[in-house]
Amino acid sequence: MICWMASWGSHLGFPLIIILVLVIGEKLLLPKLDSSELDNKERYMTTAEIIRNRGYPLEIHHVVTEDGYILELHRIPSGRNGISANRSRPIFLQHGLLWNDFAWLMNPTNNSLAFILADRGFDVWMGNSRGNSNSRRHVSLDPEKEEYWKFSWDEMGRHDIPACIEYVLDVTEQKKLAAYVGYSLGCTLFFIGAINKPKVNDQVDLMIGLGATSSIAHLDNFYYYLGLFVKPYHFLLRMTCTTVFHSNDSFSSNLLKMFCDSSQFAAELCLHLLFLIFGYSESHYESSLNAILGHYPDGSSVGAAIQFLQNSISGESFNHFDYGCYENLKRYGSCTPAQYNLSLVTAPVYLISGDRDPIAPPKDIMWLASKLGNLKSSIQVDSSFTHGDFIWSTRAMELVYLPLIRLLPMPYLNSSNTTTSSIFPVAMYIFYQWLQNLIPDVKKRTSEDTVSSSYQKTFSRIGKTRRFKLKFKRFAR
């Protein structure tokens, strides 16, 4: 009976008992929500299926870490415009806690970062953290057993990120990534990887952190209150035999989906719950949030979740996992957990933060900026921008992605033997970027036509001669 209760031991677990009562009650009192209001076929697709459904090429790769975890990477080697990856530079995207790489794909195509970068000529690689539905494998450990789930941020950053970067560089035969882009915990893991394995600092041209987390002393959502009881909460999870933390196929997650689909009242309540975590968004795509329950939360270890709560009550610091005094003494030589030295992150770092972000609030971003070894710039979005807005805002393209793109190097490989034919694609790319400013109201587009499609239409209008049209087609190939 005790272990049966483990399925409730997530960050939404016990409140779902109340939701179960509400499900029964509201079904008797309120009309069921029209299924057309919730219908988004991508809710039921894997991320690989979503990429193919949007018309992009896809490669699936698997990376084995030093400690035996098998991680799945999704590669979009070119955009729908057909520019080949064999002359493109790789860029790596890493999601946050309890997410998978759906985070980079959830908006309409012209407002999803992975597709935007692919259409601009980058070779896009997306990571999936150990323990989520895409990366729940190991060379010897069984994910159904407790031993598999004995990891925290420390192991994820020390092993996963260096292994993924090394693999991408090996496959693409390049010395550096054009950029590593992290969201939330995806930034944290890069910092840990760069601190533990200095080589990582030299394997990226730059690192861009969206809503970066390290110190979370100023956390401003209900997790803060849960953090105050992190020790008894951790004890409760151990007593209930909880191993995986809120898997997308868990009993509590399925119950939540059933409730959210049951009526308009329930759907609004679930949206409210999501905004309690990520902050209240003033602009979002309904279709994106309708699809989100099929992909978030997607599971992680108890250790990863507990380390988040531990850091929320440890003051302005960035700490290793706290095992308790006895184990800390053996691991760190002190009763308290060791702190990460962020000055050892020497890769060029750009931070982009939101002014209303409850998980990475401005005070914590300022602290992080003061500790990094090679901070180039810290940019704050001042439009009531929340943690969730980085991935689902209708204004993400305007406020985050375009500024991010301006920070990136050229997507094409440089050649020491520069010829007219090798200069032409680069020149066309510059023209491509210039045309971006001529296309009005990018932020208002919600159709599935990509920005690159709009570029092609613009090229078509400008290209009065047959010669220009032929050159553009040759470049697109």
Instruction: Name the catalytic one among 101, 123, 322, 357.
Output: 357
Q: How many CB atoms lie within 10 A of CB 474?
A: 12
Please, what's the largest Cα pairwise distance for the chain? Answer: 77
Catalytic (active site) residue 272: no
Q: Which two tokens stand for residue 423?
A: 């200069």
Tell me the C-alpha distance between 276 and 280, whole Å: 7
Q: Are strands 90-94 and 123-126 parallel, antiparallel or unpaired?
A: parallel
Sign of CA dihedral 433, 439, 445, 447: negative
**Inter-residue contact 7 to 252 (CB < 8 Å):** yes
Can you state the angle between helices 161-172 and 185-196, rounded to 10 degrees?
A: 80
Please name the residues in contact with 8: beta carbons below 8 A apart, sequence gap of 6 or more: 14, 16, 17, 240, 251, 252
Q: Which two tokens stand for residue 404?
A: 């991010």
**Inter-residue contact 98 to 130 (CB < 8 Å):** no
Instruction: Name the catalytic one among 88, 152, 184, 253.
Output: 184
Tell me the C-alpha distance between 77 and 93, whole Å: 13
What is the secondary structure of 375-439 as a DSSP string? EEEEEEETTT--TTHHHH-TTHIIIIIHHHHHHS--SB---SS--HHHHHHHHHHHHHHHHHTTS
Catalytic (active site) residue 387: yes
Instruction: Name the catalytic one among 11, 74, 284, 387.
Output: 387
Tell me the C-alpha distance between 79 and 85, whole Å: 9
Catalytic (active site) residue 357: yes
Task: Tell me the backbone φ, ψ of residue 74, rounded to 5 degrees.
Answer: -110, 125
What is the secondary structure of 19-58 as a DSSP string? HHHHHHHHHHHSPBPPHHHH--GGGGS-HHHHHHHTT---
Tell me the C-alpha distance between 205 and 176, whole Å: 6
Q: What is the Cα 266 distance to its own chain's centre? A: 27
- Just list the catalytic residues: 184, 357, 387
